[in-house]
Amino acid sequence: METPRSIKEIDLRPIPGKKYWSSEREWREELIYFLMVDRFHDDRDRRSVGGVAPARGSGDAARLRRFCGGTLAGITRHIDYIQDLGCTAIWLSPIFENDGAPDRASGSYHGYAIRNYLKVDPRFGTKEDLVELVAAAHQRTMRVFLDAVANHCGDVWFYPDDQPYFYSDDGRQYEIGGWRHDDYPVPVELRNPDYFHRRGQIRDWGWDAQPETQMGDFFGLKGFNNDDNPAGLALQQIIIDVHRYWIREADIDGYRMDAVKHMGEMAIARFCQEVREYAYQLGKRDFFLFGELIAGDDAVNRYTGPNTAGRLGDRTIYYGLNSVLDFPLYWILPGVIKGYASPATLTSRYDALRERALSRGELGRYFVTFLDNHDQVGQHYKRRFGAGAHPKQVVAAVGYLICALGTPCIYYGTEQGFAGEGTSEEAIREAMFDLDDTERNLLNKECEIYREISAIAAVNRSHPALRFGRMYFREVSGDGSGFGMPSGQPCTLAFSRILAGEEVLVAYNTSTDQARSDCVAVDSALHPPGSTMAFLYGAVGEAAVQAHPDQDNATVFVRLQLAPLQFVILGRLVDAG
């Protein structure tokens, strides 16, 4: 069958005889691997670089501004690399046909400038390649999430005289000067000027200003009319239907919604409701919808959580997102792990969330946590976490995500110690296959960071407390007498996850050059003095639980001898049988 070009040509009925896949895992049980399709692996047979030391990603800034050649088939061929890391889900950057000539290296390699929502970009492969990738993931009980770009499309038309236009204080609407191609955008129904806001680009100071942030264009990309007017409602239905189509065709398991802050509130709610209900109809019981919300916790609270109903004028609105990317944690965690920010910033952030859920374990449902990503929002000079970091700091940071509240997400290459940095996003979007040597890739399972992340992920899988438990930061003491939360650096940073009478303790020495011997408080109701906690990761043996020297003080603790940058997990050993 030819690739459809109109909404009228797509079939949303279930594929006859197909049993759609559904997972019983909760979202917070997943360990997500986020990759840029163009940068993970091409179609060549290559060998790993080998060795335990971290590798640098491939490509200079000029080369990385173009398509590098990564494909969906390349991901399928190396899906075991992702699974063996411990990941249970894959999030793909946008895969639909983007601006630029399909037979050339030019164009929007990142995928966020879509011009055809009904076709996989030929530079990435075919619809059949996507179906094969999803099927291979499902055979391994892994989920696959696609990136949904519902706020805007590519640069498919231009303003008068093909000049840049910017949002005006009076919110005026401009005319379309012309369409860039006769054949785009697709679906063809999108060739309607009323389906676009046409207010010009968001200005430098307007990214958080209403209504500019919702009505303005993302740079040269063209913002959709997501408003509650006849044209806006018709546009929304088109966008909903194309994303339902890909669930039907490829059996995907979720969408990460791009730029939700810039969409109309009702448009988000409609998208989530209709897509989720369609997935239910196909038998997919736990379709995951998480959003990119570049904002603080006050905004996060409006979009997710146990009380997501909000007010929009005189109307009550329920957004319907399961989760959002945890930008507030992303802004704090790197500095604490690297030892230049106070741990109090981290503990205070969690304290501020106490009112959001009956159980702090349940709070993990509403955040996808991450360390770095393809944008590094908020950085004028872009740097991956691995830039200037010791490999053990990378392990500790990812280990923190795996053990703490939320659904952890690893950005591709972090597990290899990629350390890209530079003045543009390209510096942090390195290729994982060598662009200068067609025989080499950087998918090295012997890398120290890869191996340690895999080991921590295995502890997570065997201890439900690390997935569902309540989370508490722990007081520490150097002498076993005066306990308090660490407030300066370096320190022993420690927290517990507790579930149904089981406590798992996580601790990390932030110092790069000094060992620490600190006492870490644990739950006195679960650990009587004289009992022990076993090392599950990072050390061998057991730590004895000791009583406070003051008989009137009920604190109990374990003393941890931690080498510089040592990350450990303690708890109850699980019977392998």
Q: How does pLDDT run across 247-259, given as a tens digit for each residue?
A: 999 999 999 999 9
Q: Are residues 423 and 505 in the same domain?
A: no
> CA 567 to CA 81: how far, in whole Å?
24
Q: Across the strands, what pairs with 495?
A: 473, 506
Amino acid at the residue 453:
I
Q: Which residues, in sequence order, are CB contacts of 271 under 8 Å at separation 6+?
A: 148, 150, 236, 239, 240, 243, 257, 320
Is-contact 306 272, C-beta < 8 A?
no
Q: Do 79 and 128 sit in the same domain of this protein?
A: yes
Contact between 511 and 390 under an 8 Å Cβ cutoff? The reply is no
**3-state SS of the chain: helix, strand, coil percent to 5?**
30, 25, 50
Q: Are residues 476 and 434 in the same domain?
A: no
Report the amino acid identity of residue 64: L
My answer on whether 286 and 268 are in the same domain is yes
Q: Is residue 197 part of a domain?
A: no
112 domain residue, yes or no = yes
CB 387 within 8 A of CB 416: no
> Which whole-number Å values give the CA distances from 40 to 73, 136, 182, 416, 524, in the listed order?
10, 17, 33, 12, 47
Residues 150-186: pLDDT tens digits? 999 999 999 999 999 999 999 999 999 999 999 999 9
Tell whether 496 and 417 lie within a shared domain.
Answer: no
% of the chain at pLDDT higher than 70: 95
Which parts of 288-352 are beta strand (E)? 288-291, 309-312, 315-318, 323-325
Nearest 5 degrees, angle CA 195-CA 198-CA 201? Answer: 130
pLDDT of residue 100: 78
Length of the chain: 577
The total number of structural domains that make up the chain: 2
**Domain containing 562 — which CATH number?**
2.60.40.1180
**Cα–Cα distance between 45 and 156 in angstroms, integer?**
36
All residues at 6 or more sequence positions from 180 whose CB lies less than 8 Å from its CB, including other chains: 155, 156, 157, 158
Triad 36, 40, 44: Cα angle to 5°: 140
The bridge status of strand 532-537 relative to strand 567-571 is antiparallel
pLDDT higher than 50, residue 577: no
Q: Which of 576, 497, 504 is nearest to 538 (CA)?
A: 504
**Cβ pair 270, 226 in contact under 8 A:** no
Range of the domain at 531: 465-571
- pLDDT category at 304 given cuts 50, 70, 90 is confident
pLDDT digits (tens, 9 = 90+) for 471-521: 999 999 999 999 999 999 999 999 999 999 999 999 999 999 999 999 999
Residues 421 and 519 in one domain: no
Same structural domain, 133 and 233: yes
DSSP code for 411? E
- Look at strands 470-473 and 567-571 and give their pairing: unpaired
pTM, to two decimals: 0.96
Spatial distance between the Cα atoms of 53 and 229, rounded to a whole number of angstroms: 57
Cβ proximity of 383 and 429 under 8 Å: no
DSSP 8-state secondary structure symbol assigned to residue 517: E
Same domain as 517, residue 381: no
CATH number, residue 91: 3.20.20.80
